[in-house]
């Protein structure tokens, strides 16, 4: 079935100019993904010699974390646990108007149209989101047994794709969910536990330095996370942080 | 041209160890003075950049993504092989080596593959140490499963997100080196040319994708880890931005492209649903551990399904043809990818396909759900379970193993695979061909190295499942840190390379001229439309089955399309801005040249091996027939200014006997 849609899309030339909404008509097939619908719009714009809408995307399998669209006010759109590239048009109605904006956050400057700069997230990881082990230093993989349940909990935090939807969803523009997922992923494993005190303090300091806001326990981050990273990651990080601050060197 | 593979002397199992201990190395004080460029930040690139940084080299790493964590390695689902023999099922380094050589249909180098199998063991240790949350048993030890083309369980995994977890491990190591200052990271920079000074690779020309600025970057050596070229086919499981430009520009500067016709068509992808589609989605090979592949025995049943009058579940057991189990009883549903793909094509070509287009087969989990349901019921002490109880318990097990894949399938197709068998069809997935490299992973251009999918060295004519991650990480963590020394040990007195040398200025000018030429065509058709047409030519003429006549016709069609492209493409905007259409235009121009060389290679190779199937070279039962007497060689192509020329590197097998690859 074909859907006749009106798209209100944020257009912004670069990060020094302001932006505005433009309205476009597009006919989409219900089997298309949201990004394929934007492809159709762009092909049409190019054929009309108009500037295509810049949006970032890559794997289109919901795993690379590149897409950064806020659809009808929700990062990655209306479906729970779903990235924009995995959102299909069958969830929209014929005649609907859809608003498309970039991820909005103070720490994510707009590059162009729907593209934002999320380099701040990389810098948080660089501040301590790793285990300090060089290639060649490792012992046998089975030398330290890890409880299945613990490994599985660590995996759930490690499933974060670094898209930044949590930041865009948060009224404070906080990166607590992103940062805490990394702290918990590594902290739950014996290999990562060793450096936890230093890690959590450095990552939190970098997060603050980048201008991300504070957490006020609203929970929008958890609701919008396409990988369903849970709020208890933040509780874990708070505990680790306080422990490090009060008992550390 | 003499292609020296530089394979060390000595018995196979001792070559790498002995070579490592005797090769030239660079002292720590000199490493600091040597700069290395690494292009790409996937498994191979990130692991190479971080390892070289750890050793003390001054590393510069480049990616066209906004962050190194986005590289397409992240999408690998199923797992990574390692000869750990944790399962105590007879695995060994030799067996992994043998399976890989056989799986590659005897078109890879023995010594490279054996080294890969040796390194596989260390990779798992390294990743565990980095905090990769692999699947574990209740006893806390690492869990394994099976993949296609092998009879042991040697695949380590992290649910259906193994690639993501391994890449994040490498990305974290890379991030650590960035924070320590030993690696400088250049995000959103795309390599558009290689710079050669006095016969040595000394730098690259990149475009800053945010500003359009063309920049010159110099170093003592250049390492390419830029992935494969599957997107030549337009529709593939590769990410949208995957491209061949860095490798192809190097070929145009004199590097050789080896076995470009060896492309892997993956049997289990979600079928094409419409013209608007620009990307296909893979369903992990791990599904074939428990899923059974079938089509209806009767053509009228298939037709009824195609017309949506019947569903898969309506077909009775005795009317189903489990054709892989029938044709290949020894390996069944776990035959290698090339074999499974061709078998699906055969069934669909006979009219037994099961989607509206007729291009799909079923992948069915009902038998697995029943089997697991019984086991679980027994575990719970329920020895007379009802059908409903079995189903609930069985679905729970299947969901634990493959839950996220089932969810992904449902999101994309709208069908629930617990109720209806999945529909799948083969799609382009991986390219075994790539830049020609010697045992040191150095190309024929001195100082230019290629790692991971970007090179050709380990998978022959067909790659086995869960081997791509293994190769990317082996090359990056455990091979290049040693072998780059063979080149750099002779460079310790070379001062810092200046990016103002005339060779850099000239290369920069050519890049700018090329961009201006594309922008000034102002033709009638979008880049996308040309790419789509290129993909159709490639798929129809150089896809799952190839013929001499078809290839000859395809080559002509590509040449015409290329001429038309440079007369009639429309690229909007300018160079001085963030312009994804321009990025694409540069990549598609390169795909069109590479596509021609792929076809020339396929035309030259008058045999069927691995993913390369020539209809003229098949047994009466339709199985592939190699021609070892004439084609046991690597075909390495020189672009030669548009008149491609082929050079041969004979493949010598001292340890493995060349046999007809049988999975019956």
Residues A71, A10: one domain?
A: yes
Q: Residue B164: CB partners within 8 Å, gap ≥ 6?
A: A63, A159, A161, B74, B75, B76, B158
The answer to whether A26 contacts chain B (CB < 8 Å) is no
For residue B540, the domain's CATH number is 1.20.58.100
CA distance B563 to B557: 10
For residue B547, the number of C-alpha atoms closer than 13 Å in the C-beta half-sphere is 6
> pLDDT band for position A249 (50/70/90)?
low
* DSSP H or E segment with residue B601: helix B580-604
Residues B390, B523: one domain?
A: no
CA distance A26 to A41: 6
Beta strand A74-75 pairing with A69-71: antiparallel
For residue A41, the domain's CATH number is 3.10.20.30
CA distance B226 to B95: 29
Return the CA Rg of chain B.
25
Among residues A54, A80, A112, the one where a domain terminates is A112
Total domain count, chain A: 2
Which residues in chain B touch residue A58, judged by CB atoms under 8 angstroms apart? 65, 70, 72, 239-241
Span B515-543, mean pLDDT? 97
Residues B292, B402: one domain?
A: yes
CA distance B171 to A36: 29
Residue B184 inside a domain? The answer is no
Task: State the CB neighbour count (10 A cutoff) for residue B593.
Answer: 19
CA distance B305 to B484: 57
Q: Residue B280: CB partners within 8 Å, gap ≥ 6?
A: B235, B236, B237, B269, B270, B272, B427, B428
B148 secondary structure, DSSP code: T
Residues B384, B517: one domain?
A: no
pLDDT tens digits for range B12-51: 999 999 999 999 999 999 999 999 999 999 999 999 999 9
Among residues A112, A137, A167, the one where a domain terminates is A112
Residues A53, A84: one domain?
A: yes
Residues A134, A168: one domain?
A: yes
Matching residue, tokens 């575990």: B379
Out of A51, A130, A155, name the one closest to residue B573 (CB).
A51
pLDDT at B540 over 80: yes
* Two structure tokens written together for B498: 């200046």
* Interface residue of B49, B129, B239 to substitute, partner A, most A CBs within 10 Å: B129
Q: What is the mean pLDDT of chain A?
A: 96
**pLDDT attached to residue B286:** 85
Residue of B117, B22, B5, B2 lying closest to B485 (CA atoms): B22
Task: Give how far B225 is from chain A: nearest CA, Å.
Answer: 18
Residues B378, B515: one domain?
A: no
Question: Are B229 and B72 a contacting pair, CB within 8 Å?
Answer: no
pLDDT tens digits for range A122-173: 999 999 999 999 999 999 999 999 999 999 999 999 999 999 999 999 999 9
pLDDT at B661 over 90: no
Residues A241, A125: one domain?
A: yes
Residue B456 inside a domain? The answer is no
CA distance A59 to A42: 18
In chain B, how many H helices and how many E strands?
Answer: 19, 21
CA distance B368 to A109: 49
**pLDDT attached to residue B626:** 97
* DSSP H or E segment with residue B31: helix B28-31
For residue A242, the domain's CATH number is 1.10.1060.10
Q: Residue B324: CB partners within 8 Å, gap ≥ 6?
A: B293, B332, B333, B335, B340, B343
Residues B290, B422: one domain?
A: yes
**pLDDT attached to residue B482:** 98
Among residues B426, B456, B491, the one where a domain terminates is B426
Q: What is the mean pLDDT of chain B?
A: 96
Cα–chain center distance at B504? 31
Residues B286, B414: one domain?
A: yes
pLDDT tens digits for range B397-455: 999 888 888 988 998 898 999 999 999 999 999 999 999 999 999 999 999 999 999 99
Which residues in chain B touch residue A79, judged by CB atoms under 8 angstroms apart? 411
Which residues in chain A touch residue B407, judged by CB atoms under 8 angstroms apart? 81
* DSSP H or E segment with residue B214: strand B214-218
Residues B634, B523: one domain?
A: yes
Matching residue, tokens 């029943």: B370
- ipTM for the assembly: 0.98
Among residues B426, B449, B480, the one where a domain terminates is B426
Residues B394, B527: one domain?
A: no
pLDDT tens digits for range A103-121: 999 999 999 999 999 999 9
Residue B112 inside a domain? The answer is no
Q: Residue B7: CB partners within 8 Å, gap ≥ 6?
A: B15, B109, B111, B439
Can you state the percent helix, strand and coil of chain A, rounding each to 5?
40, 15, 45
Task: Give how far A75 is from chain B: nearest CA, Å.
Answer: 17
Q: B122 has which bridge partners?
A: none
Residue B304 inside a domain? The answer is yes
Residues A126, A182: one domain?
A: yes
Residues A77, A143: one domain?
A: no
Does B75 sit within 8 Å of A122, measured CB to CB?
A: no
The answer to whether A185 contacts chain B (CB < 8 Å) is yes
Question: Are B243 and B442 a contacting pair, CB within 8 Å?
Answer: no
Residues B375, B516: one domain?
A: no
Which residues in chain A touch residue B526, judged by CB atoms under 8 angstroms apart? 43, 46-47
Residue B151 inside a domain? The answer is no
Residue of B25, B26, B31, B24 lying closest to B54 (CA atoms): B31
pLDDT at B664 over 90: no
Matching residue, tokens 């092998």: B150
Which residues between 101 and 120 in chain A have a beta carbon less than 8 angstroms from any beta carbon of chain B?
A: 111-112, 115, 117-119
**pLDDT attached to residue B120:** 98
Q: What is the dihedral of CA B610, B612, B616, B618, to 10 degrees?
A: 20
Which residues in chain A touch residue B573, judged by CB atoms under 8 angstroms apart? 51
Question: Are B192 and B589 a contacting pair, CB within 8 Å?
Answer: no
> pLDDT band for position B247 (50/70/90)?
very high
Q: B533 has which bridge partners?
A: none
Which SS3 state, helix, strand or coil, does residue B378 take?
A: helix
Residues B298, B388: one domain?
A: yes
Cα–chain center distance at B465? 10
Task: Give how far A245 is from chain B: nearest CA, Å.
Answer: 22
Residues A123, A80: one domain?
A: no
Which residues in chain B touch residue A26, judged by CB atoms under 8 angstroms apart? none
Residue of B104, B260, B227, B119 lying closest to B651 (CA atoms): B104
Taken in order B139, B140, B141, B142, the sign of the CA dihedral is positive
Does A40 sit within 8 Å of B129, measured CB to CB?
A: no
Does B175 sit within 8 Å of A126, measured CB to CB?
A: yes
Write A155-159 long-range contacts (CB < 8 A, 24+).
Answer: A155/A185, A155/B133, A155/B158, A155/B159, A155/B165, A156/A229, A156/A230, A157/A181, A157/A182, A157/A184, A157/A185, A157/A188, A157/A229, A157/A233, A158/A185, A158/B131, A158/B133, A158/B158, A158/B165, A158/B168, A159/A227, A159/A229, A159/B161, A159/B164
For residue B418, the domain's CATH number is 3.90.700.10
CA distance B504 to B138: 58
**pLDDT attached to residue A69:** 98
Task: Give how far B620 is from chain A: nearest CA, Å.
Answer: 40
- CB burial of residue B346 (10 Å; 0-12, 13-18, 19+): middle
Residue of B230, B529, B188 lying closest to A54 (CA atoms): B188
Greatest Cα pair distance in chain B? 82
Phi, psi dihedrals of residue B363, rounded to the nearest 5°: -125, 115
Residues A126, A24: one domain?
A: no
Residues B418, B274: one domain?
A: yes
* Two structure tokens written together for B139: 């006893």
Question: Are B224 and B39 a contacting pair, CB within 8 Å?
Answer: yes
Residues A92, A188: one domain?
A: no
Residues of B serving a catalytic function are 337
Residue B630 inside a domain? The answer is yes
Residue B489 inside a domain? The answer is no
Task: Give how far B550 is from chain A: nearest CA, Å.
Answer: 31
Out of A39, A131, A140, name the one closest to residue B131 (CB).
A131
Among residues A62, A91, A112, the one where a domain terminates is A112
Which residues in chain B touch residue A64, judged by CB atoms under 8 angstroms apart? 70, 72, 74-75, 239
Residues B286, B379: one domain?
A: yes
Total domain count, chain B: 2
pTM for the whole structure: 0.97
* Two structure tokens written together for A8: 């209100």
Taken in order B256, B262, B266, B271, the sign of the CA dihedral is positive
* Interface residue of A130, A178, A189, A193 to substitute, partner B, most B CBs within 10 Å: A130
Task: State the CB neighbour count (10 A cutoff) for residue B374.
Answer: 17
Question: Are B193 and B255 a contacting pair, CB within 8 Å?
Answer: no
Residues A105, A142: one domain?
A: no
pLDDT at A248 over 80: no
Residues A180, A141: one domain?
A: yes
% of chain A exceeding 70 in pLDDT? 99
Out of A47, A65, A111, name the one closest to residue B578 (CB).
A111
Does B240 sit within 8 Å of A135, measured CB to CB?
A: no
Residues A163, A212: one domain?
A: yes
The answer to whether A206 contacts chain B (CB < 8 Å) is no
% of chain B exceeding 70 in pLDDT? 100
Task: State the CB neighbour count (10 A cutoff) for residue A232.
Answer: 14
Domain that holds residue A147: 119-247
Among residues B381, B396, B426, the one where a domain terminates is B426
pLDDT tens digits for range B270-317: 999 888 898 999 998 889 989 999 999 999 999 999 999 999 999 999
Matching residue, tokens 């890969």: B116
Question: Are A5 and A27 a contacting pair, CB within 8 Å?
Answer: yes
> pLDDT band for position B458 (50/70/90)?
very high
Domain that holds residue B390: 266-426
CA distance B664 to B660: 11
Task: Give how far A229 is from chain B: nearest CA, Å.
Answer: 15
Does A189 sit within 8 Å of B75, measured CB to CB?
A: no
Which residues between 65 and 104 in chain A have a beta carbon less than 8 angstroms from any beta carbon of chain B?
A: 65-66, 79, 81-82, 86, 88, 90
């Amino acid at each position: 079935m074909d859907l006749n849609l009106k798209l209100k899309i944020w257009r912004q030339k670069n990060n020094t100019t302001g932006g505005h909404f433009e309205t476009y008509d597009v006919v989409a097939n219900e089997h298309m993904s949201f990004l394929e619908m934007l492809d159709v719009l762009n092909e049409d714009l190019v054929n009309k010699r108009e500037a295509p809408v810049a949006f970032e995307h890559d794997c289109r399998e919901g795993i690379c974390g590149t897409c950064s669209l806020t659809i009808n006010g929700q990062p990655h759109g209306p479906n729970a646990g779903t990235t924009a590239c995995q959102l299909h048009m069958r969830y929209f109605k014929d005649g609907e108007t859809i608003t498309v904006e970039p991820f909005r956050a103070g720490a994510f400057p707009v590059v162009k149209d729907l593209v934002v700069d999320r380099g701040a997230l990389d810098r948080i990881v660089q501040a301590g989101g790793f285990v300090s082990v060089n290639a060649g230093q490792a012992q046998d993989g089975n030398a330290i047994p890890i409880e299945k349940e613990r490994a599985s909990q660590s995996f759930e935090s490690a499933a974060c794709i670094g898209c930044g939807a949590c930041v865009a969803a948060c009224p404070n523009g906080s990166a607590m969910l992103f940062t805490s997922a990394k702290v918990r992923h590594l902290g739950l494993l014996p290999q990562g536990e060793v450096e936890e005190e230093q890690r959590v303090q450095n990552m939190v300091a970098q997060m603050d330095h980048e201008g991300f806001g504070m957490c006020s326990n609203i929970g929008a981050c958890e609701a919008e996370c396409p990988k369903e990273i849970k709020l208890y990651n933040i509780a874990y990080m708070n505990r680790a942080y306080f422990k490090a601050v009060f008992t550390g060197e | 041209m003499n292609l020296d593979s530089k394979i060390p002397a000595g018995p196979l199992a001792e070559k790498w160890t002995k070579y490592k201990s005797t090769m030239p190395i660079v002292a720590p004080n000199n490493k600091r003075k040597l700069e290395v460029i690494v292009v790409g930040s996937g498994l191979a690139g990130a692991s190479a950049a971080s390892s070289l940084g750890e050793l003390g080299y001054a590393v510069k790493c480049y990616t066209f993504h906004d962050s190194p964590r986005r590289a397409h390695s992240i999408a690998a689902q199923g797992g990574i092989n390692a000869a750990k023999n944790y399962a105590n099922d007879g695995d060994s380094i030799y067996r992994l080596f043998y399976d890989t050589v056989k799986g590659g249909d005897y078109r890879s180098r023995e010594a490279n593959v054996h080294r890969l199998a040796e390194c596989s063991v260390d990779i798992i240790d390294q990743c565990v140490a980095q905090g990769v949350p692999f699947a574990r048993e209740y006893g806390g030890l690492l869990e394994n499963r099976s993949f296609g083309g092998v009879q042991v369980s040697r695949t380590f995994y992290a649910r259906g997100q193994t690639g993501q977890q391994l890449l994040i491990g490498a990305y974290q190591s890379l991030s650590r080196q960035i924070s320590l200052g030993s690696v400088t990271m250049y995000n959103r920079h795309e390599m558009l040319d290689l710079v050669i000074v006095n016969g040595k690779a000394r730098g690259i020309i990149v475009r800053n994708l945010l500003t359009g600025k063309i920049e010159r970057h110099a170093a003592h050596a250049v390492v390419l880890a830029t992935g494969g070229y599957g997107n030549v086919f337009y529709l593939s499981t590769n990410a949208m931005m995957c491209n061949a430009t860095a490798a192809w520009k190097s070929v145009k500067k004199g590097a050789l492209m080896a076995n470009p016709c060896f492309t892997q068509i993956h049997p289990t992808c979600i079928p094409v649903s419409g013209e608007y589609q620009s990307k296909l989605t893979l369903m992990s090979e791990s599904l074939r551990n428990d899923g059974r592949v079938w089509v209806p025995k009767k053509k009228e049943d298939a037709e009824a399904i195609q017309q949506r009058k019947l569903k898969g579940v309506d077909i009775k057991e005795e009317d189903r043809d489990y054709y892989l189990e029938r044709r290949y009883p020894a390996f069944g549903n776990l035959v290698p990818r090339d074999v499974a793909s061709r078998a699906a094509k055969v069934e669909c070509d006979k009219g037994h396909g099961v989607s509206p287009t007729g291009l799909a087969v079923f992948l069915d989990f009902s038998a697995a759900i029943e089997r697991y349901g019984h086991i679980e019921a027994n575990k719970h002490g329920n020895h007379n379970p009802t059908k409903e109880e079995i189903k609930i318990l069985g679905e729970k097990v299947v969901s634990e193993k493959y839950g996220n894949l089932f969810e992904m399938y449902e999101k994309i197709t709208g069908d629930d695979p617990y109720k209806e068998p999945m529909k799948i069809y083969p799609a382009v997935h991986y390219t075994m061909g790539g830049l020609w490299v010697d045992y040191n992973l150095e190309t024929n251009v001195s100082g230019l190295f290629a790692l991971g999918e970007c090179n050709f060295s380990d998978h022959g004519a067909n790659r086995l499942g869960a081997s791509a991650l293994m190769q990317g990480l082996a090359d990056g963590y455990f091979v290049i840190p040693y072998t780059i020394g063979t080149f750099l040990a002779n460079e310790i007195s070379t001062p810092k390379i200046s990016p103002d040398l005339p060779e850099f200025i000239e290369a920069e000018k050519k890049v700018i001229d090329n961009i201006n030429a594309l922008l000034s065509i102002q033709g009638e058709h979008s880049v996308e439309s040309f790419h789509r047409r290129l993909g159709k030519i490639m798929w129809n003429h150089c896809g799952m089955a190839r013929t001499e006549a078809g290839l000859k016709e395809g080559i002509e069609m590509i040449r015409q399309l290329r001429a038309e492209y440079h007369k009639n493409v429309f690229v909007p905007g300018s160079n001085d801005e963030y312009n994804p259409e321009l990025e694409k235009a540069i990549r598609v121009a390169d795909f069109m040249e590479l596509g021609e060389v792929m076809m020339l290679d396929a035309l030259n190779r008058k045999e069927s091996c691995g993913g390369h199937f020539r209809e003229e070279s098949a047994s009466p039962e339709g199985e592939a027939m190699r021609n070892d007497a004439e084609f046991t060689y690597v075909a390495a192509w020189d672009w030669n200014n548009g008149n491609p020329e082929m050079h041969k590197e004979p493949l010598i097998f001292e340890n493995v006997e060349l046999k007809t690859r049988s999975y019956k």
